[in-house]
Amino acid sequence: MPPETPGLPPVLTIDGPSGSGKGTISRAVAQRLGWHYLDSGALYRAVGVAAGWADLDLDDAGALVRCAFDTEIGFRDDPAGELRVLVNGHDATEELRTETAGAAASAIAAIPEVRAALKDRQRAFRRPPGLVADGRDMGTVIFPDAPFKVFLTASAEERAERRYKQLKDKGVSVTLDGLLREILARDARDASRAVAPLRPAEEAVRIDTTGLGIEAVVEQVLGIVGA
Ligand code: DC
Rounded distance from Cα 24 to ligand 1 centre (Å)? 15
Cα–Cα distance, 77 to 140 (Å, whole number): 28
The region of weakest confidence among 46-50, 59-63, 140-144, 186-190 is: 186-190
Domains and CATH numbers, the chain: 11-222 (3.40.50.300)
CA-CA-CA-CA torsion sign (173, 89, 109, 28): negative
The 3-state DSSP composition of the chain as helix, strand, coil percent (nearest 5) reads 50, 15, 35
Please tell me the predicted confidence (pLDDT) of residue 219.
97
Q: What pLDDT digit, counting tens, does each position of 31-50 carry?
A: 999 999 999 999 999 999 99
Cα–Cα distance, 147 to 149 (Å, whole number): 7
Flag whether pLDDT at 133 surpasses 70. yes
DSSP string across 178-212:
HHHHHHHHHHHHHHH-SSS-S---TTPEEEE-TT-
How would residue 1 be classed by pLDDT, with cut points 50, 70 and 90?
very low
Q: Whose CA is nearest to atom 4 of ligand 1?
A: 41
What residues are in contact with ligand 1 under a 6 Å CB criterion? 18, 40-41, 44-45, 102, 105-106, 109, 135-137, 186, 190
Q: Please tell me the pTM assigned to this model.
A: 0.90
Q: What pLDDT digit, counting tens, does each position of 144-161 carry?
A: 999 999 999 999 999 999
Angstrom CA distances, 184 to 14, 51, 159, 180, 200, stand at 20, 24, 10, 6, 18
Over pLDDT 90: what percentage of the chain? Answer: 74
